[in-house]
């Protein structure tokens, strides 16, 4: 699930492309999302100007000039991108918002776990977040409140951070990124996280979560938003080490094949006397199960 760096990256990328511009139209696809788009929301959105784009937890919030809110949830495979109208519409594009100035905000989701929801005002949005049990943002953690939240539970640190009521938008890739402290010089083992207690962990957590979106989030490419300079720079950085990542699976596969081949040849070799070696344990060698389909296909082709 896209965690804080991914959602924050998307919000930062679309913010300069949407802020101050009007939404001129909405087109919905034929397939329903987990949070379906209602046709009654279209007249409430068309003609409204986007005042700002922000993130709250795992949701992207578009503030409209009439006080209403458009809330986007990316789900697992959601993408929120600003395209030129001439760009071909990719499959699994479920919502297209026509933006003033000749752009289109497109929401694409392969698995359809995400969605876009309209809220009438900030109070309705706050009630929704309260019902979801959403805690404070990592950027707004107060030391006293942070210490109280950690000391009030007996769970381990990672389980506590995964609780959205304790801190918002930390999911599986998030806690290991936030907690570890730098290793002291001359120390062979990593130092324990939060060396100075819960209050000392807040500053590194805020610094890391602030820097992660600037680096293009942490892992997922599917949640990338626009084709702007920031995304091109991140793509260039990924390409610099892509060859090593592509070669790694092939290297592991070749090593696995060599191990299997060595095992098969070792179990079927014979001694100089012509008798099976001790590795056979007195049993005649049989063809490998992976070889049987090939043998059957050869026999079938020969008979045919």
For residue range 197-249, list pLDDT tens digits in order: 444 455 555 555 555 566 555 444 545 445 555 555 656 666 655 555 455 55
Q: Give dist(CA 94, CA 107) in Å, integer.
A: 6
Pairing of strands 93-99, 50-56: unpaired
Q: Give dist(CA 15, CA 167) in Å, integer.
A: 24
For residue range 126-167, list pLDDT tens digits in order: 999 989 888 888 777 788 888 888 888 888 888 887 888 888
Q: Which tokens belong to 7?
A: 């959602």
Closest CA to 6 of 50, 51, 53, 57: 57
pLDDT at 186: 47
Lowest mean pLDDT among 92-101, 125-134, 179-188, 253-262: 179-188
- Fold classified for 4-131: N-terminal domain of MutM-like DNA repair proteins (3.20.190)
Cβ proximity of 2 and 76 under 8 Å: yes
pLDDT at 208: 54
Q: Which residues fall within 8 angstroms of residue 229, CB to CB, at 6 or more apart?
A: none
Confidence at 174, pLDDT banded by 50, 70, 90:
very low
Q: Give dist(CA 268, CA 250) in Å, integer.
A: 27
pLDDT at 213: 61
- Looking at the predicted structure, is the pLDDT value of residue 16 above 90? yes
Q: Give dist(CA 178, CA 218) in Å, integer.
A: 12
pLDDT at 138: 77
Residue with tokens 């014979």: 270
For residue range 34-60, list pLDDT tens digits in order: 888 999 999 999 999 999 999 998 899
* More confident site: 74 or 174: 74
pLDDT at 4: 73
Domain boundaries, the chain: 4-131, 138-182+193-238
Lowest mean pLDDT among 9-23, 103-117, 170-184: 170-184
* 3-class DSSP state of 45: helix
pLDDT at 99: 95
pLDDT at 106: 95
Closest CA to 83 of 67, 97, 65, 73: 97
* 3-class DSSP state of 218: coil
Decide: pTM greater than 0.85: no
For residue range 73-121, list pLDDT tens digits in order: 998 889 999 999 999 999 999 999 999 988 999 999 999 999 999 999 9
């Amino acid at each position: 699930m896209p965690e804080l760096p991914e959602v924050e990256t998307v919000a930062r990328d679309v913010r300069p492309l949407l802020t101050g511009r009007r939404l001129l139209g909405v087109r919905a696809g034929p397939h329903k999302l987990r949070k379906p788009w209602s046709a009654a929301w279209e007249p409430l959105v068309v003609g409204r100007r986007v005042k700002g784009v922000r993130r709250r937890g795992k949701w992207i919030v578009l503030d409209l000039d009439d006080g209403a809110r458009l809330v986007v949830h990316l789900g697992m495979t959601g993408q929120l991108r600003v395209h030129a109208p001439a760009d071909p519409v990719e499959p699994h594009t479920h919502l297209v918002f026509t933006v003033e100035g000749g752009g289109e905000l497109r929401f694409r989701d392969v698995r359809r776990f995400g969605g876009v929801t309209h809220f009438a005002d900030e109070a309705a949005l706050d009630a929704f977040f309260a019902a979801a049990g959403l805690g404070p943002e990592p950027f707004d953690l107060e030391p006293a409140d942070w210490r109280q939240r950690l000391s009030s539970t007996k769970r381990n640190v990672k389980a506590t951070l995964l609780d959205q009521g304790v801190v918002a938008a930390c999911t599986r890739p998030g806690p290991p990124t936030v907690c570890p402290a730098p290793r002291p010089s001359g120390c062979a083992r990593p130092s324990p996280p939060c060396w100075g207690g819960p209050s000392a962990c807040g500053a590194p957590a805020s610094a890391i979560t602030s820097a992660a979106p600037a680096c293009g989030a942490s892992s997922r490419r599917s949640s990338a938003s626009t084709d702007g300079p920031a995304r091109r720079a991140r793509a260039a950085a990924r390409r610099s080490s892509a060859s090593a990542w592509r070669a790694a699976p092939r290297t592991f596969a070749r090593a696995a094949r060599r191990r299997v081949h060595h095992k098969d040849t070792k179990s079927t070799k014979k001694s100089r006397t012509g008798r099976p070696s001790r590795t056979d344990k007195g049993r005649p060698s049989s063809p490998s199960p992976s070889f049987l389909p090939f043998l059957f296909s050869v026999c079938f082709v020969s008979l045919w």
